Structure 1
Amino acid sequence: MTAVETDGIIAAVSETLRRTVTLVRPLAGGQHATTLVVADSTTEYVVRVFPPLDDAVVHEPQILDWVAALGDRVPRLIATGEFGDCPFIVTSLVAGGPPSSDLPLQSIAGQMAAVLAQIHQLDSVGLRTLSWETPRGDSTIEVLGSKAWKQLDLADHVLTHYDFWCGNAMWKGDTLTGVVDWSGARSAPRGLDVSWCRLDLVLLGSVDAADHFLAEYERESGHSLPDIHAWDLVAAARSASRVESWAPNYRGIGYSDLTESTLRARMDDWTSLLCVS
């Protein structure tokens, strides 16, 4: 984003809030939206600017009301507005930042599992529902993922975050302080979030951490996931062909070692493991 565009966003946010805000810093980590931290004379806020016609600003305010029971661990809605054709949302700033690349993956896994169990306890009645489609493609993992999808029981829904990975968790030191980016949240089976986070932990470098996450989630939530292998196949099938494109996301949260080639190698190892299990 150019300096002129950033200045335009700051001006649009100031007009929406009816007070002057200034840029504190940009935030990296995702590709869906341009994210900035801004501040008025007393308070910092997060501004996320989405592409034209993106519906995130329509859905996220409803979700933030839904998850308000999680307290300071989730953002509060401040305002919505537009910069040209691009909608934006202004929220409170959740304390913390990305997890340190030095933080043990077992610790990340355990704390992510605990907060996900709490998220899945929230009411999901009335939310948008699952929109995943049957995985497509001719690779082995895509064929197996398509078969697995057709065998899953999709009836038992909870409130799912829908993009539950370490880059959407906030940390202070070794403690998870919050979960952000709720624009995709909807009513869906719990296996969707669980398998997505397991895949993230595998890409970070540890199948053992992914298994620890599953065990801790089942313990914290009181729900077992006997179909987790099928969900893992689906998650891998949906992302195997594009995993290299996630390198900027990981680089943006400080995992510069997760290059395109590293992500590809770890994904290939994971899909090989899934295909013989």
Structure 2
Amino acid sequence: MDQLTAPALVDGAALLLGRQLTLERELTGGQHARTVLVVDGGTHAVVRGFPRSDDAVTRERAVLRRTGPLGTLAPRLLAHGEVDGHPVIVTEAVPGAAPAPDLDPVVIGEQMGTVLAAIHRLDPAGLPDDARQPMLRAGRLATTAHEAWREVDLDRVLTHGDFWSGNTVWQGDRLSGIVDWSGAMSAPRGVDVAWCRQDLVLLGSIAAADRFLAAYEAAAGRRVVDVHAWDVIAAARADTYVETWAPNYAGIGRDEVDGRLLRQRFDAWVGSLIGSRVH
């Protein structure tokens, strides 16, 4: 991938902020951007650099202007610009860390469900619109996903766009923040709901996926009656490349969730969704 080095990213961010920064460590858990944690005096900030011509910074700036109602759950924008042609964004560091490997997935799911309901109450007007309709080339799940599409509610909310455990920050067993808002968009609520449920299944807990849904519905004050259809659509989107997510899970301390285990858990999940109709 076309990426800045970590030192170049720190130096570029220092120019954008107009003060010296010290690299504390590089952050992992995603493959889209290079991400570093820096120190400015006693204050921490997160710096992310994206490939040239990527619109992630523009997208994230647009959504961070709307996240005030979330309080400290969303980072505050500090600076943005370009470094050697790469879009760069600097945000406050949300206190905490990735969910601990021994944190019960049910705890993760319940708190993510409550927070997602708050995110979906934000204003989506003017954000990029994407219903996440299944692609024609959806592999073995193509037919089933297109059948499911006829059942879904397409009313738009502000969706995070990549709502999984790796984009959460925790202080012990308390969810303290949601990060990486560059994929936020106006889309149906089922996009986020199903993507998070699938992640919790890949962490090894269908029970957590169900508790997440229950917590979301309680906080949102509504049932997600089309959740099964969205689960199928999310699975179709992941099917051809789910093994490639292993570095993302390793980046949040889940080294045991390798490509083989991801495929094993994913195929079992697909089987529970659509059973013998998948070949």
C-alpha contact 1:141 1:271 (8 A) present in aligned 2 = no
- TM-aligned CA deviation for residue 102 of structure 1: 0.5
What is the DSSP-based 3-state SS (H/G/I as helix, E as strand, rest coil) of the residue aligned with 1:226?
coil
Number of the residue aligned with 2:156: 157
Number of the residue aligned with 1:71: 71
- TM-aligned CA deviation for residue 130 of structure 1: 1.5
- TM-aligned CA deviation for residue 184 of structure 1: 0.8
Matches within 5 A, 1:15-164: 15-130=15-130, 132-137=132-137, 139-154=139-154, 156-164=155-163
- TM-aligned CA deviation for residue 126 of structure 1: 2.3
Q: Distance in 2 between matches of 1:135 and 1:263?
A: 22
Q: Which runs of 5+ in 2 are unaligned?
A: none
Query: Aligned residues: percent identity?
Result: 49
Q: Distance in 2 between matches of 1:145 and 1:179?
A: 29
Q: Distance in 1 between matches of 2:208 and 2:228?
A: 16
Q: Deviations over 1:147-194 (max 9, x none)?
A: 21244231x111110100000010011110010000111111111110
Structure 1 residues 29-38 or 213-222, which shifts more? 213-222
The alignment yields a C-alpha RMSD, in angstroms, of: 1.6
Q: Distance in 2 between matches of 1:268 and 1:276?
A: 10
Q: Distance in 2 between matches of 1:227 and 1:139?
A: 22
Q: Deviations over 1:39-87 (max 9, x none)?
A: 1223211001101110011111111110122111111000112221211
Q: Distance in 1 between matches of 2:237 and 2:113?
A: 22
Verify: 1:200 aligned to 2:199, yes or no: yes
- TM-aligned CA deviation for residue 138 of structure 1: 6.3
Which residue type is aligned with residue 146 of structure 2? Answer: S
Q: Which runs of 5+ in 1 are unaligned?
A: none
Number of the residue aligned with 1:243: 242
State the TM-score, normalizing by the size of structure 1: 0.95
Number of the residue aligned with 1:257: 256
Number of the residue aligned with 2:176: 177
Q: Distance in 2 between matches of 1:209 and 1:9?
A: 37
What is the DSSP-based 3-state SS (H/G/I as helix, E as strand, rest coil) of the residue aligned with 1:218?
helix
Structure 1 residues 119-128 or 25-34, which shifts more? 119-128
Count of aligned pairs between the two proteins: 274
What is the DSSP-based 3-state SS (H/G/I as helix, E as strand, rest coil) of the residue aligned with 2:5?
helix
- TM-aligned CA deviation for residue 199 of structure 1: 0.2
Q: Structure 1 138/104 Cα, relative in aligned 2: closer, same or farther at 3 Å?
A: closer
Q: Structure 1 46/153 Cα, relative in aligned 2: closer, same or farther at 3 Å?
A: same
Q: Distance in 1 between matches of 2:66 and 2:35?
A: 22
Number of the residue aligned with 1:226: 225
What is the DSSP-based 3-state SS (H/G/I as helix, E as strand, rest coil) of the residue aligned with 1:257?
coil
What is the DSSP-based 3-state SS (H/G/I as helix, E as strand, rest coil) of the residue aligned with 2:41?
coil
- TM-aligned CA deviation for residue 139 of structure 1: 4.1
Q: Distance in 2 between matches of 1:173 and 1:41?
A: 25
Q: Distance in 2 between matches of 1:138 and 1:77?
A: 37
Which residue type is aligned with residue 62 of structure 2? Answer: Q
